[in-house]
Amino acid sequence: MSRPKPLVLLEKTNKQNYKTEQVLAAEGIWAVFYDGSPINLKTSNLLVQYPGPKYKKVSFSNSGHAINLAKKLNSYFQTDKFSVVLLKQGETIYATNANPQARPSPAPSSPTT
């Protein structure tokens, strides 16, 4: 069975290199949580400092990737506390339209004497 075609919201093609970028509709973002809380996932090598730690993705626009990661982490850490949470809405922290209601700027501090 083939996948259903995604809904294309925006599309633009670069005429110089012919690459096309598409903005696709998604049901939400699936994130891996540990014990009910959001996480970051970092890997590093104890033997060498180069190239430094690497942070891995823990949120995906596809549920399958998130579920596979949660299963892998549960197996690796011998636990059942990793789960997948579907995020559909949240607080807007960046928007190009200047909406003062979205996130108020802090009040200017007064000098202390």
* pLDDT tens-digit series, residues 8-52: 999 999 999 999 999 999 999 999 999 999 999 999 998 888 888
Distance, in Å, from the CA atom of 97 to the CA atom of 43, rounded to the nearest integer, reads 37
Structural domain spans, the chain: 27-87
User: Across-strand partners of 56?
Assistant: 41
As a whole number, mean pLDDT of residues 88-112 equals: 69
What's the pTM?
Answer: 0.75
Cα 105 versus chain centre, distance: 25
Range 53-67 burial, b when 16+ CB lie within 10 A, else e: eeeeebbbeeeeebe
CB neighbours of 50 closer than 8 A, spacing ≥ 6? Answer: none
Question: Which residue, among 39, 38, 32, has the nearest Cα to 67 in the 3D structure?
Answer: 32
As a whole number, mean pLDDT of residues 78-91 equals: 96
